[in-house]
Amino acid sequence: MSEKLNQLKEILGEVSDLGHAASVLGWDQNVNMPPLGGEARGQQLATLGKIAQEKFISDQVGKLLDDLKNEFAPGSDEADLIRVTSRNYEKAKRVPSEFIAEQAIVTTKAFEAWVEARGKSDFSIFRPHLEKVVDLVHKYISFFPAGNHPYDTLLDDYEPGMKTSEVQEIFSGLRVKQVDLIKKIRAAKQVKDDFLHKKYNEKKVWDFGEAIITKFGYDWNRGRQDKAPHPFETTFSINDVRITNRFEPGSPLSTLFSAMHESGHAMYEQGINPAYERTPLEGGTSLAVHESQSRLWENLVGRSLPFWEHFFPEIKKAFPAQLDGVSVKSFYKAINKVEPSLIRVNADEATYNLHIMLRLELEIGMVDGTMKVKDLPEIWNTKMKEYLGITPPNDAMGVLQDIHWSGGSIGYFSTYALGNLVSAQLWEKINKDIKDLDEQIRRGKFDALLAWLHEKIHVYGHKYDPQDIVQKVTGSKIDSAAYVRYLTKKYTDIYGL
């Protein structure tokens, strides 16, 4: 290995260490930090972010990248490391370290305001903080050359190379098909799910979720699960990948599906090639591919009939009173009930993408100036009525339900729906390669599935761009056809369409 590559890796390792240290502070902020710790935490995150930024965009890194750009064979790990690092460097070079520090302080305060606003269901508490976040988003976009749409700059941070117009095109075709499917379901006899909303013991639900993800293959020697206001996964190293979860009394079994979802993210991170540790090749290649892993485990596995043919006797034993007289088929139909709902993370598969399309429209509106932050609650409620036929009774169940905007993560939401599409594309390929997959799931065996995902997706980390790895594994780029086939088949069976 060349001496210059060693020098570059040493610097990248230090940048990675600083980023992971900030992640530890972010995790602690959600899980453990006392209410008055926010201001100091913001300063700490700002300092780490500023140091990492200055270290990464140094002239030394630029010179090393320039010297190494033609040294390695195309397709080698070394060449891909230089390619990905160079792209990140060119982007980061445009963003002043002072901006990174300012953003850390603003978003930390915004997170604390969001927690309070959500708790009190009062958007006015969060509004001035979100306005500052949006101002910083506009400032961030100004650091880059103008694209076809200002939102392109933000989207590229989460889906490298993807354009706003591409996402809008995918969604416009998908929206029509999903709305048509929902209309057919509404005309059919509704399934019963009252037993899902009875009182369930929180600890028993929590423990059952942990038992499920243990069988999936989540490695507890390299992970843990804690409580937080919003479920998430965070990575400090390949050997320290953590998840958080929450318990909602009104939807108690959603804790199970959140555990499956976050473990999907975590198993991706745990499966990355250890050689990529402390380099820009560590971590998933994009949020859509990352989301494909979480949605695959949560929905294509966790909401499937074979899955519950295995686990239903166990959950019925844990909750005999709540599930008395309930059959596995009735339970399967209930957890897949299609009904417009207020909360995105609890939405069924047939309506979920409409939540994402709503948020995408609002984000684009905030970015291009056609929507003002002060008007978001009213716009949100209007679009919920238009898209899903329901209106939130308060801000907590409406515009304040998601954590992402408080952290400055604007440009992010479309990746959720794109992840759904990728999960279905992967699922079709997996079923071709693992002929008896349903039977394995029915027996509670997930090792072959996890091994396939490790081999085809996880191990590569950020080596391939998202569209490239989807093409490499499935034979086509991100496309909605497989997802539409999956939804149509599933709900035709459940609702007798």
Active-site residue list? 262
Amino acid at 243: I
- Provide the token pair at 451: 């091994």
Rounded CA separation 337/185 (Å): 10
CB neighbours of 352 closer than 8 A, spacing ≥ 6? 344, 416, 417, 420
Overall residue count recorded for the chain in this entry: 497
- Provide the token pair at 172: 């416009």
Would you report the helix, strand and coil content of the chain in percent, each value rounded to 5?
Answer: 70, 5, 30
CB neighbours of 90 closer than 8 A, spacing ≥ 6? none
DSSP string, 410-447: TT-THHHHHHHHHHHHHHHHHHHHSTTHHHHHHTT--H
Sign of dihedral through CA atoms 54, 60, 65, 66?
positive
For residues 338 and 351, is the Cβ–Cβ distance under 8 A?
A: yes
Would you give the distance in Å from CA 375 to the centre of its chain? Answer: 26
